[in-house]
Amino acid sequence: MKQVTTYENQKVLVLGLAKSGVNAARLLKKLGAFVTANDAKPFDENPDAKELVSDGIKVVTGSNPVSLLDEDFSLIVKNPGIPYSNPLIQAAQSRNIPIITEVELAAQVNDAELIGVTGTNGKTTVTTMITEMLNQDRPVGKAKFAGNIGVPASQVVQTLTKDDVMVTELSSFMLTGIKTLHPHIAVITNMYTAHIDWHGSREAYVAAKMRITMNQTADDFLVMNWDLPEQHELAKQSKAQIIKVSRKGATGADAYVADGQLMWRDEAILPVDQINVPGIQNVENALAALAAAKVAGQSNAAIATTLSHFNGVRHRLQYVLTYNDRKFYNDSKATDIEATQMALRGFKQPVVLMAGGLDRGFTFDRLVDDLKAHVKAVVLFGQTKDLLADAAKKAGITEIHFAEDAVAAVPEAYKLSQPGDVVLLSPANASWDQFPSFEVRGDKFIKAVEQLSGEKEQQA
């Protein structure tokens, strides 16, 4: 970690705790700042706040009072999920107080090479794949993942040296609050429509994603999905060298599929059917990851070994177990329609689908063709259950059932299945109507599968 003096004796407000806020506050204290942490959750219900108090950091809980700004803070480090419509944030902007997110703070003290990964779907899988690829046969240093993958960058950065690499998953929320973050290699997995309720428009969402390349130069690299025509135009915004990936064999691609092989330019890396995780989305993820790894200097053999042994990522089309010849999969991370479409397309077996969640004001007509092609029965829950039922009816599905939530859906889905079927949780919706996160939803789903089967999940 670089030793910087920027924050010595500066008053800094950390707004919103959880993992990123706690670690940002600790890092700022280490850098000599006078830190105040603020979180809306009451102190008695706030273990993060209690931790920081024990560390000697000032904490204000229970609300986000605008009066806090009277303390003349020179900077606010904002939790990525807090919208800019928050009254305290709006007041800070009117006072011209700089506002950043925790990944920007980490970038300012980072001494290692930085690889950044963003996109609508596949971020976590690609981040993990790259990290494992770069650690395969690595002679010096270590690649470590951080960011939206669940490990705060401000925690990881303190362990890094110039011999290491930080592979950082970057959400649109995080990227909105960066200023100097500069990945040598950036990856945009794809760009669909998501988080419009937070950003206000698709244009704002896309602009946030493109901030990953705003500080790149001609010495840097930007990996883009060349199967998406929009990416061709967006690439013009970057000064970096564009590395093109294409599952469909787009002209001029650097990483692509040909004759059943993953290719890097003219070199065959691995047969597609030897990727150890199912689905066409994981072919695309593998291409994006291998492109980043090749640019970083990794060997074909190391990349092939990684992909042929890769067990997937928890909650991302995660194989749980087989019970009575039914395979159970946890795809709780599928918080949008496109992710569920990709999951369904990865299976040749009949699927009993469990789906539903937070209503964001759209229908599921885009899902109809994939339901028709892959799904024999559905068990639906949450705010969108009726909208999903409409889509299932349009797909000609007659077995449409309802459950209280993703947990109660498990035994119902099992009853609708037969030997050889796939029983899949792929909600196509965010979890927040019933669960605090997709991780909690997925963990509870796994527990329900274990309870049904009397077996434990298959660990990678």
Binding residues for ATP: 119-125
Q: Cα angle at 165 between 136 and 263, to 5 degrees?
A: 50
- Per the document, the length of the chain is 460
Report the run of H or E that residue 134 belongs to, with start and end. Answer: helix 123-135
CA-closest candidate to residue 148, choices 172, 169, 179: 169
- What letter does residue 257 receive in the DSSP assignment? E
Query: With left for phi above 0 and alpha for psi between -120 and 50, is residue 22 left, alpha or beta?
Result: alpha
- CB atoms under 10 Å from CB of 237, counted, come to 12
- What CA–CA distance (Å, rounded) separates 24 from 14? 7
- What CA–CA distance (Å, rounded) separates 386 from 201? 25
- What CA–CA distance (Å, rounded) separates 353 from 456? 21
Q: Are 364 and 386 in contact (CB under 8 A)?
A: no
**What SS3 class is residue 330?**
strand
- What CA–CA distance (Å, rounded) separates 282 from 9? 47
- What CA–CA distance (Å, rounded) separates 325 from 322? 6
For residue 441, give Cα distances in angstroms to 29, 408, 429, 446: 34, 12, 11, 9
**What SS3 class is residue 241?**
strand
Q: Are 105 and 27 in contact (CB under 8 A)?
A: yes
- What letter does residue 433 receive in the DSSP assignment? T
The tokens for 137 are 């046969």
Residues making up the binding site: 119-125
**What SS3 class is residue 217?**
coil
- What CA–CA distance (Å, rounded) separates 331 from 236? 34
- What CA–CA distance (Å, rounded) separates 167 from 164? 10
139 exposed, middle or buried (CB, 10 Å; 0-12, 13-18, 19+)? exposed
- What CA–CA distance (Å, rounded) separates 143 from 431? 31
